[in-house]
Chains A and B, each alone.
Chain A
Amino acid sequence: MRMLGLALKMLLDAPAKSMGTLVGVVVSVFLMSQQLSILLGILSLVSAFADGTDADIWVASAATENTDITDSLPATRVAEVASTPGVAWAAPVIQGMSRITRPDGVRELVKVVGVEPPRYAGLARTLVDGTQRESLRGPARVFLSWSARPAFAFPAPGERLEIDGKTAFVAGFFDKVDPHSSYTYVFANLDDARAYTQFPQDRITFVATGVSPGEDAVTVRQRLQARIPDALVVTRGELSAMEVRHFLRRTPVGMVFGMGTAVAAFIGSVIVAITLYSSVVDRLRDYGTLKALGATRKDLVRLLLAQAWLFFAVGAGVGLLAFFFVKAHAPQAPMLAPPWMLAGVMAVSLTSCTLASLAAVRRALAIDPAIVFRG
């Protein structure tokens, strides 16, 4: 701590250089946070169906890579699942692509998810604008995505739409199930969904399953898998991870944002390294004087680390403020900033600044204290 004041005064003595370094750290922390938060935001959309609906376990065709790339199951699977020990309930869910006709005539791509009354298992957990599950009861009732309302010209409850040329009425809205794709979700009654997507009567897409109280989802999943080995049985978390894995494997998004984050960390590190090193070179006589006055190697290491950490503390603070400002003013951007991500950015930035000081430390330690006697 005793070196902190000296470090600060040395930095303030070269304000232009220090400001340049600070800007580098700010930009680095901002970019790392922004890139990671967008990646996490996109991944949350990718797994939105698994995360945002209410089943504990999903049973699907064995030929499933994610919820988009899947096949169908015989409808009889529902009874098999329901009769398995540890299962509290099981309900059929179907899904299929269709089109909603917008007021301007454009046919918007939608994924219709059919859920069965009275439980409506597989329905989005978050319903908004006064929407109740029971609002789906009755023919041709559909729930639309709250965030997708602009695409449908902000339809009001009760308004009539057309899905695949067939009548549908807006019965309410759900939230937090928005895919990272060009389609939007629509929830409907099982029978209506079959009609909108021309889904065969004897087939289903998933069996949404609830676990009995006190039962462990993984244990029940293993039991189900043993009973129906020709199907895929996954917990909600496993389905979510499957979606993310598939997305990262099949698209360059993870690579792009991951590289963006790495480059941001690298740039911050390089800027701090160059500045600290050049400040030592500029101040050879000062560091030589410190050595002549009795500064040990440890003192010099502490002094340079203190400078690097001051850059980190101020730069990271300002960088995060800038990030949260942008996040607050760009609600349309899918940005998530969980505490662990922010802690990770801080840790990477601190490590970068620390590593960046090593070259400067090495240079300072090599200074001959006898330099002070040279004119």
Chain B
Amino acid sequence: MSTSSSQVVLEGRGVGRLFGTGPLAVRALHPTDIQVRRGEVLVIMGPSGSGKTTLLSLLGLVLSPTEGEVMLDGRTVSGGSPDALALLRRERVGFVFQQFNLMPGLSALDNVALPLLLRGTSARERAARARVALARVGLSDREAAKPRLLSGGQQQRVAIARALVTDAPVILCDEPTASLDGVTGKAVLNTLKDLATDLGRAVVVVTHDDRVLAIADRLVEVVDGHVHERASPSAREVHG
């Protein structure tokens, strides 16, 4: 699963995960190598329980591998303390979740600005950058709205704005279109594709949704904890 190393921003080397110990241990992901390049959309597909979310959690540094290592910008980062990993996520990784995970008490603008708040960015700069991010996803007119007043598609676009507001080079998306209808899902996918092509972000999308293949530059499949790269997104249709 090799790619041009000069463009690799995120990499898993022999990375695997076992939950539990002894005879009760469950293998969620077999040791695998995976690389994510700047400016590409990498789609990870697979059946439920296959280990794709585990792979995303490992790459997103929210879960520590039991084997192998995760490298960010060529540096081994897995194995750091929880706070060190939190700081790396804050600076280098943006997340888009299936359930949006917006803070219900905050406006769209405040939700987008949240990663900047954690960074200690000044209030004025936070607001300015969050407005730019909201404009990028086409929600400038909804900045004061609380999440409950936004549609599912709007909430997901707020989440995308939150992921891109920090200029993190890696954006990890977990089923970003699962809660959205066809038209809204397509709009969200277009936004994610733009992040890769226009802004040069590395976008990783875990999904069951075949529509995502339309924006995929590369496709990997996870089956029973084993990761397989397909030659091209269309190859999945042959495999599947």
Contacts and interface: CB of A to CB of B under 8 A. Distances in A.
Contacts of B53: 373
Chain B contact residues: over half helix, strand or loop, or mixed?
A: helix
B105 A295 contact: no
Contacts of A286: 101, 103-104
B86 interface: yes
A102 to B, nearest CB: 66
B30 interface: no
Given A370-B63, A373-B97, A294 B174 contact: no
Chain A contact residues: over half helix, strand or loop, or mixed?
A: helix
Contacts of B56: 373
Contacts of B184: none
Contacts, number: 83
Interface stretch (A9-17, A76-84, A166-174, A241-249): A9-17
B118 A13 contact: no
A297 B86 CA distance: 9
A12 B104 CA distance: 10
Contacts of A288: 101
A250 interface: no
A294 B63 contact: no
A329 interface: no
Contacts of B117: 2, 6
Interface in A243-297: 285-286, 288-297
A370 B62 contact: yes
B209 to A, nearest CB: 14
A288 B120 CA distance: 19
A337 interface: no
Interface residues of A, number: 27
A291 B62 CA distance: 9
Nearest to A11: B105
Given A6-B117, A293-B118, A294-B115, A375 B89 contact: no
B140 to A, nearest CB: 21
A292 B110 contact: no
B128 interface: no
A279 to B, nearest CB: 11
B176 interface: no
A369 interface: yes
Interface in A1-41: 2, 6, 9-10, 12-14
A373 B63 CA distance: 11
Contact of B89 (A12, A285, A292, A298): A292
Interface string B67-89: 00000000000000011001111
A157 to B, nearest CB: 68
Nearest to A10: B105
Interface in A330-375: 368-370, 372-373, 375
Going nearest first, the 5 A-B pairs with the smallest beta carbon separation are A294-B90, A13-B105, A369-B62, A289-B101, A296-B83
Interface of B: 53, 56-57, 60, 62-63, 82-83, 86-91, 95, 97-99, 101, 103-106, 110, 114-115, 117-120, 162, 174-175
19 contacts: A6-B117, A13-B103, A13-B104, A13-B105, A286-B101, A289-B97, A292-B60, A293-B115, A294-B86, A294-B87, A294-B89, A294-B115, A296-B82, A296-B86, A368-B62, A370-B62, A372-B101, A375-B99, A375-B175
Interface of A: 2, 6, 9-10, 12-14, 285-286, 288-299, 368-370, 372-373, 375
